[in-house]
Amino acid sequence: MPKKLFIPGPTEVRKEVLEAMAHPVIGHRSKEFQNLHNEVSGKLQKLMHTKNPVFLSGSSALGVMEACARNTVREGKKVLSLVCGAFSEKWAKIFQSNGKESVSVEVEWGKAIKPEMVKKALEKDSFDAVCLTHNETSSGVTNPLEDIAHVLKDYPDTLFLVDAVSSLAGIPVEVDEWGIDVCLASTQKALATPPGLAIFSVSPKAIKRAAEVRNRGTYFDFLQFLKYWKKGQTISTGPISQIFALDKELDIIFKEGLKERFSRHKKMAEMVKNWAGKNFQDFAEPSFSSLTLTTVKNTKNLDIKKVNEELEKRDKVISGGYGKLKDVTFRISHMGEIYPEDIKELLKDLDEILKLK
């Protein structure tokens, strides 16, 4: 019996989405693939509220973050990395490993990045780009993306790069309205599709910047992505089966309705956070706690491995803490194709397991 996944990723995948991956493989330069590519890219534009091209990458989102490092910061220029947890730390590390100077604004894990912090940093120095993780999966914090975007509008020469890996399709993201130049995500989180595919939108401003950057590489060159996107193609043989799956999941998302989907995520978050508040403590700063997962402060020093051994008897699994929070938190995901009735059953099981302890 497969376990129901209440982990931050990969997340639950519907049967019909898995079945979509069994579609016969097609040529990546065929007319059939061109139609599939254009359909999926168009649906993603609708989801992300953008007219910018949305590219499909046969990589994880980490690869697209590296693409940002190769395409958006010119030689001798700096990037501002907004750090509030393990995944937002990756922005700075990736830029540095690609020979770019990164300056960080850091807050204590569990806290959110505030707009005034970004404004202060931008007033102090000049940056080619600002990197934000919208939803920090380690600490369970959702940063105030729209408010930070408002600050960036006063700095038109600075690109705004957003990791929406664990927020897109679970929390609203308005790419054009908020002026996001690169918005990236993986498919195995709230998009509820098997791993192996990343998606990202790129603004005309970011394309123009890429043309000014030397040594963009080959696999993640924004200009090459655009060239092939215009032809309805990926730059090389892509994960065609995953693209079929994503196409099916996007249909499911729009059939549910974005408003309804976001409302469902909010309801599930409230259920888990109420439970966490009664039994433990939400690790995230109040008012900034994520709607797609909850990082719970392990105030009772539970052995999460043993908790999962009990949960597995009930065909479920949750996640331990991540990074330096590994031993002091645990995480419950409530994103994608998980529903309130699933959360209700999980919390009932956890209550029974807690009594056993």
CATH 3.90.1150.10 intervals, the chain = 4-10+257-356
Q: Which residues pair with 102 in a beta bridge?
A: 79
Give the pLDDT score at 136.
98
Cα angle for residues 255, 256, 260 (degrees, 5° grid): 145
Other beta carbons less than 10 A from residue 208's beta carbon: 11
4-10+257-356 to CATH, choices 3.90.1150.10, 3.30.365.10, 3.40.630.10, 3.40.190.10: 3.90.1150.10
From the list 31, 80, 39, 73, the residue with the least C-alpha distance to 56 is 39
Give the pLDDT score at 65.
98
Give the pLDDT score at 357.
52
Contacts of 119 (CB under 8 A, 6+ apart): 151
The verdict on pTM exceeding 0.95 is yes
Q: Which residues of the chain have pLDDT under 50?
A: none
Q: What is the largest CA-CA distance in the chain?
A: 62
Give the pLDDT score at 356.
58
Residue 51: CA atoms inside 13 Å, Cβ hemisphere, count?
3
DSSP, collapsed to helix, strand or coil, labels residue 157 as coil
193 to each of 3, 15, 115, how far by Cα in Å?
16, 11, 33
Cα angle for residues 267, 135, 251 (degrees, 5° grid): 60
Give the pLDDT score at 1.
73
Are the CB atoms for 27 and 20 separated by under 8 Å?
no
CATH 3.10.450.30 fits 15-254, yes or no: no
From the list 165, 163, 92, 106, the residue with the least C-alpha distance to 133 is 163
Please give the single-letter amino acid code of residue 16: E
Phi, psi (rounded to 5 degrees) for 131: -110, 125
Beta strands in 233-314 (DSSP E): 281-282, 293-297
143 to each of 11, 129, 135, 205, how far by Cα in Å?
22, 17, 6, 24
End-to-end distance of the chain based on CA atoms, in angstroms? Answer: 25
Give the pLDDT score at 261.
98
Whose tokens are 């919390």? That residue is 347
Are the CB atoms for 175 and 183 separated by under 8 Å?
yes
Are the CB atoms for 328 and 297 separated by under 8 Å?
yes
- In the 8-state DSSP scheme, what is residue 246? H
CATH 3.40.640.10 intervals, the chain = 15-254
Give the pLDDT score at 158.
98
Give the pLDDT score at 355.
87
Contacts of 138 (CB under 8 A, 6+ apart): 85, 86, 87, 109, 295, 321, 322, 323, 325
